[in-house]
Structure 1
């Protein structure tokens, strides 16, 4: 991802879902994420993303659970184009 100026990891769908589960276990909120497409060894932004803000009065642990649920849902439902790998970069 560094060739795009992004200092983060990006994961394919199954890996992203595993990382979301691990972050949930650690009560780490997921603030959002960005989607990238990889085709022929080249990674490009898909210009799709999601975000999750903490609500007033929400505890960190509840925010972590809710944000993980939103991230999980986004990744699961994202329509992945054929002949391209979709990568998800999580923002924590």
Structure 2
């Protein structure tokens, strides 16, 4: 039973972080899209995904393994959050530009 719970937590955490990773770049670009602030978009998106990953990993510590503490789950969640941001940027770019590029 514990293995199924860990697997469920892992899938749920990755799915949540993937959806938020796809949406984090447009959410970060909305307030920082002006000429003066556009250098902050990536920084804000990474910080946002680190924070969201920390929270998701702490709430679902099964992301880090079957016997993981909340602290380890939070650390792994932060890393997975940044990885899902990178994957989300790739998916977002492919949705906007297609496989032919910009």
Which structure is higher in helix share?
Answer: 2
Relative contact order higher in (CA < 8 Å, ≥ 6 apart) = 1
Which structure is higher in strand share?
Answer: 1
TM-score normalised by the shorter chain: which range applies? Answer: 0.3 to 0.5
With the length of structure 1 as denominator, give the TM-score of the two structures: 0.40
Question: Larger radius of gyration, structure 1 or 2?
Answer: 2
With the length of structure 2 as denominator, give the TM-score of the two structures: 0.37
